[in-house]
């Protein structure tokens, strides 16, 4: 047996419970990983609460997408991994556990310079940011406006765009300005008068906008400042995107990601691991809690706690 966080009904963080589950076995094309850290993402809480629609719960539902750990068993038809390898994964469901079964294609070697907590922080945030900016074709001649720049996705987007040579403006609370400024961005405070503050910061205008905040203000200002609405995208207000004439990448959108967009999300993880190992990318780590405190981790993420929250089995 192994341990995993599960829930049997939608609701608040209190529905999360530690349960005994069958230990995963190394099936063909898959690898068993002992989890050292599991990343806690806002989407985890949205699915648990029922805010983000999902299928009816008929069996205990596992939680978590991202994680890092050590390979303990390798299934048939798997090349390139062996027992003892330090790895990072984005398994899709169930990373809040002591052991998980991961498709080999979702597994990546973790360089020694990258901690388990940093590795567990990459799948959703880095994958989402990288894919969105690639889809928006962000280049060195662009001025990019990012809404929600101090969050995990926003910080990843800032760093990718800066590495690619773009000029970046990001909205945030003033108390977070110093941190995101260190990433190479010009911060602006959200709130009344945002469009004017962005214009003041970017006299030559904004060419592309990426919304990771989901506020009416973010969408309105993006549509006001960017001429080509095909270069405005949200990852939060997907259900509203079509009516606003902008793009959405998941976030409740009825339009699924394309095969290319899915490939970019997967590609982002090894790209980011290499950048971390070369000290060209950073991850802001937040509280690290025991696996048994998964409910508290969800309360913290819903409260907007700074830094990436991780669970340690």
Residue 189 sits at φ, ψ, to 5 deg, of -80, 135
Alpha carbon 292 to its chain's center: 22
Mean pLDDT of 5-20: 96
Q: State the CB neighbour count (10 A cutoff) for residue 68.
A: 28
pLDDT at position 172, please?
Answer: 97
Is residue 92 scored above 90 in pLDDT? Answer: no
Mean pLDDT of the chain: 96
Mean pLDDT of 74-95: 93
pLDDT tens, 167-197? 999 999 999 999 999 999 999 999 999 999 9
Helix (H) or strand (E) holding 274: helix 259-277
pLDDT tens, 254-298? 899 999 999 999 999 999 999 999 999 999 999 999 999 999 999
State the fold for domain 125-248: Rossmann fold (3.40.50)
Q: State the CB neighbour count (10 A cutoff) for residue 252.
A: 18
d(CA 159, CA 144): 12
Domain ranges of the chain: 2-121+283-312, 125-248
d(CA 245, CA 311): 39
- Reported as half-sphere exposure (CB side, CA atoms, 13 A), residue 67 has a value of 29
In CATH, 2-121+283-312 is 3.90.180.10: yes
- As given in the structure block, the two tokens for residue 38 are 């599991």
- As given in the structure block, the two tokens for residue 32 are 């068993």
pLDDT at position 51, please?
Answer: 85
pLDDT tens, 107-144? 999 999 999 999 999 999 999 999 999 999 999 999 99
pLDDT at position 243, please?
Answer: 96
pLDDT at position 202, please?
Answer: 95
Mean pLDDT of 191-210: 96
Distances in Å between the Cα of 7 and the Cα atoms of 4, 95, 146, 168, 295 are: 10, 14, 34, 40, 11
N- to C-terminal Cα distance for the chain? Answer: 14
């Amino acid at each position: 047996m192994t341990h995993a966080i599960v829930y049997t009904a939608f609701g608040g963080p209190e529905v999360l419970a530690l349960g005994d589950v069958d230990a995963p076995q190394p099936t063909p094309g898959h690898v068993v990983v002992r989890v050292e850290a599991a990343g806690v993402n806002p989407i985890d809480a949205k699915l648990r609460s029922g805010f983000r629609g999902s299928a009816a719960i008929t069996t205990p539902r596992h939680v978590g997408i991202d994680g890092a750990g050590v390979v303990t068993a390798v299934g048939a038809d798997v090349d390139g991994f062996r027992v003892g390898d330090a790895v990072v994964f984005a398994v899709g469901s169930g990373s809040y556990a002591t052991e998980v079964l991961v498709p080999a294609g979702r597994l990546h070697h973790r360089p020694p310079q990258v901690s388990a907590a940093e590795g567990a922080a990459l799948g959703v945030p880095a994958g989402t940011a990288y894919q969105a900016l690639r889809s928006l074709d962000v280049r060195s001649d662009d001025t990019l406006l990012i809404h929600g720049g101090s969050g995990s996705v926003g910080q990843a987007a800032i760093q990718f765009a800066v590495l690619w040579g773009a000029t970046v403006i990001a909205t945030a609370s003033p108390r977070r300005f110093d941190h995101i400024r260190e990433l190479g961005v010009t911060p602006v405070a959200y709130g009344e008068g945002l469009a004017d503050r962005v214009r003041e910061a970017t006299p030559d205008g904004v060419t592309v906008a990426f919304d990771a905040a989901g506020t009416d203000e973010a969408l309105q200002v993006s549509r006001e400042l960017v001429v080509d609405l095909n270069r405005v995208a949200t990852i939060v207000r997907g259900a509203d995107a079509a009516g606003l004439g902008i793009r959405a990448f998941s976030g409740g959108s009825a339009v699924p990601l394309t095969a290319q967009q899915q490939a970019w999300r997967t590609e982002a993880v090894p790209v980011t691991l290499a950048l971390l190992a070369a000290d060209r990318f950073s991850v802001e780590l937040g509280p690290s809690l025991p696996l048994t405190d998964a409910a508290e981790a969800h309360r913290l993420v819903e409260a907007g706690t700074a830094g990436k929250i991780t669970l340690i089995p």
